[in-house]
């Protein structure tokens, strides 16, 4: 059984940076997370009930954006291994589809944010 422990982040705390290994997928319980580009500009927001850091599903994934707490934030962190095992427990086809979609998203992000 998976145990997705909550982790609290203080206002402006860096959750991860561009270029970091994508080791966790995050689900926001409370608060807002700013997603930032290489120049430090916010280009998207994630709110309670949403997820971010999906690159963790890809083996060897690397962060193409940074994530920063906007106010007090509580997230559930899921390791890349746990995310893969969870997906595989439902369908191996689902893993292939998600990996293809995430690779497309990663290529799009790279082209958009050189």
Beta strand segments in the chain, E: 6-9, 14-16, 24-36, 42-47, 51-52, 66-79
Whole-model pTM: value is 0.76
Least confident of 18-27, 52-61, 103-112: 103-112
Is the pLDDT assigned to residue 18 strictly greater than 70? Answer: yes
Q: Using the CB atoms, write b or e for 31-54: b if 16+ within 10 Å.
A: bbbbbbbeeeeeeeebeeeeebbb
- Measured CA to CA in angstroms, residue 59 lies from 9, 12, 85, 99 at distances of 26, 28, 12, 9
pLDDT interval class at 79 (50, 70, 90): confident
Q: Which CATH number fits domain 7-112: 3.10.20.30, 3.30.465.10, 3.90.226.10, 2.60.120.10?
A: 2.60.120.10
CA dist., res. 99 & res. 85, Å (int): 14
pLDDT interval class at 64 (50, 70, 90): confident
């Amino acid at each position: 059984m998976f145990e997705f422990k909550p982790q609290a982040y203080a206002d402006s705390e860096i959750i991860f940076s561009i270029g970091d290994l994508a080791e966790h997928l995050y689900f926001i319980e409370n608060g807002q997370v700013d997603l930032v580009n290489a120049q430090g500009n916010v280009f998207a927001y994630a709110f309670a009930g949403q997820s971010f850091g999906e690159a963790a599903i890809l083996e060897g994934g690397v962060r193409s954006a940074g994530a920063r707490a906007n106010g007090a934030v509580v997230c559930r962190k899921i390791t890349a291994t746990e995310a893969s095992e969870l997906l595989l427990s439902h369908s191996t086809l689902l893993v292939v589809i998600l990996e293809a979609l995430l690779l497309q998203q990663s290529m799009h992000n790279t082209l958009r944010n050189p």
